[in-house]
Homo-oligomer: A and B are copies of this chain.
Amino acid sequence: MSNHVEQKLAVLGLELPPAPAAVGFYVPVIRTGNLVITSGQLPFVGKQITFEGKLGESLHDQQGYDAARLCALNALAQIKACAGSLDAVRRVVRVEGYVHSAPGFRAQPHVLNGASELLVELFGEAGKHTRIAAGVAEMPLNAAVQLAVWVEVE
């Protein structure tokens, strides 16, 4: 019945995309115990990577931020597909962020805030999560960001 988190998304002018398919021989999301863990999500819109390239080279900080936000939306779509509803999420546990970084680019935390701020906007206190932030030299499909999200569900 309840659909609070998706209603909050709508207020932000966002909606859940279809959950993207995996780009290899794996599955996009899994549940183990009461943890739901996504695979690394890329900034897909449909079948298209929307932010290609490296931060600090062909992409500027705000594009990275937007790419991370989009990865988070895709992760939420995976979590809904696995848990049935985003309202089953008890808390967000962890965000793993890999940022496609040109030499000298060090604003990985700002880029990943694009994901983190969305999660806190949607889930409030329960959206506060731990995070790792790595600058990686090469990324599948030349994507700007890869993001995995861990949540606890009921």
Contact = CB atoms under 8 A, between A and B. Distances in A.
Interface of A: 22-30, 32-35, 37-40, 91, 93-96, 98-99, 101-110, 112-113, 116-117, 120, 128-142, 146, 148, 150, 152
A93 B38 CA distance: 10
Contacts of A141: 106
B109 A23 contact: yes
5 contacts: A30-B129, A39-B131, A102-B138, A108-B138, A134-B134
B25 A117 contact: yes
Given A24-B116, A26-B131, A103-B138, 6 more contacts: A24-B110, A30-B91, A30-B130, A96-B132, A106-B139, A137-B137
B135 A138 contact: yes
Contact of A148 (B35, B116, B132): B132
Contact of A136 (B22, B38, B94, B135): B135
A101 B137 contact: yes
Contact of A130 (B27, B109, B133): B27
B26 A128 contact: yes
A40 B132 contact: yes
A136 B24 CA distance: 18
